[in-house]
Amino acid sequence: MTLIKYSIAAGAVAIIAALTFILLTRYDPTQPYFSSHSYWFAKTADLKDVKRSITPRLSTELAEKGMNLNDPVFLRIFKEEAALEVWKQQGSQYQLFKTYEICSYSGKLGPKLKEGDKQAPEGFYRVSSNQLNPHSVNHLAFNIGFPNSYDRANNRTGSFLMVHGNCLSAGCYAMTDAHMEEIYLLVETAQKGGQRSVPTHIFPFRMTETNMIKHASSEWVPFWENLQEGYSWFEESRTPPRISVSNKSYTFN
């Protein structure tokens, strides 16, 4: 009887410890934990079923715009507008295919600085095939590649920063499951078509002069001015720039 009591007590302690860990590391009062799209109801997608049900419709939508599922893609994310854009290459330039609403992201405007700050990153990243996770508990996901060389040069830390489904964020960009299925399929198929990695540019907002003035009091203006260079490059050329890091800043060519 004593052994049974000890076992029950040990089990209760383990459950309390697990719940405490989740609350300390994952809980964010701004997130929809108790909605049908939440951490508690997370589920892994059946990728074969996703492809079977979505590919015909997605192919038709692309064809209506003169695009092909295998064509290279380019992603842009805007925090303030809660928007993720998917662009498709047509000839030497990219054209906008679709804009998806971001269901949830955590933190505020500004970059991610350190592990555990629950801040969604800003900057220039690339997604290769080994960053795709079809088995994610958050209904498909891909790692954006944080920290990149810029982040490391500026001593910024963090890991497992994703774009994923399930509409719940603890530093990631979370989509509805339906939107994530399309985005994942577009990225994966482009890579299978020969694109080595997908450029993924993440901005605090659309970096127009009007918006820069609107946010002129922010401590992050110098960082955002650097991001604006890359934003403007694409706006003018409709081609993602080649990006490198020099003196702890992004450079473009």
Residue 158 token pair: 């963090």
Which helix (DSSP H) or strand (DSSP E) does residue 235 occupy?
helix 221-237
Catalytic pick among 103, 139, 167, 172? 172
> Among residues 195, 165, 194, 170, which one has the least CA distance to residue 182?
165
Structure tokens that stand for 198 in this block: 């997908």
**Alpha-carbon distance 198 to 127, whole Å?**
5
- Is 164 an active-site residue? yes
As given in the structure block, the two tokens for residue 162 are 């994703």
Strands (E), 22-161: 73-78, 83-90, 93-101, 104-105, 123-128, 132-133, 141-143
| Distance between CA atoms of residues 214 and 1, nearest Å | 68
CA distance 193 to 184: 14
Fill in the amino acid letter for 96. L
Active site annotation includes 172: yes
Instruction: Please pick, among 37, 164, 179, 201, the residue that the annotation labels catalytic.
Output: 164
CA nearest neighbour of 73 among 132, 119, 121: 132
- Beta strand ranges found along the chain (DSSP E): 73-78, 83-90, 93-101, 104-105, 123-128, 132-133, 141-143, 162-164, 173-174, 197-203, 243-246, 249-252
Residues tagged active-site: 164, 172
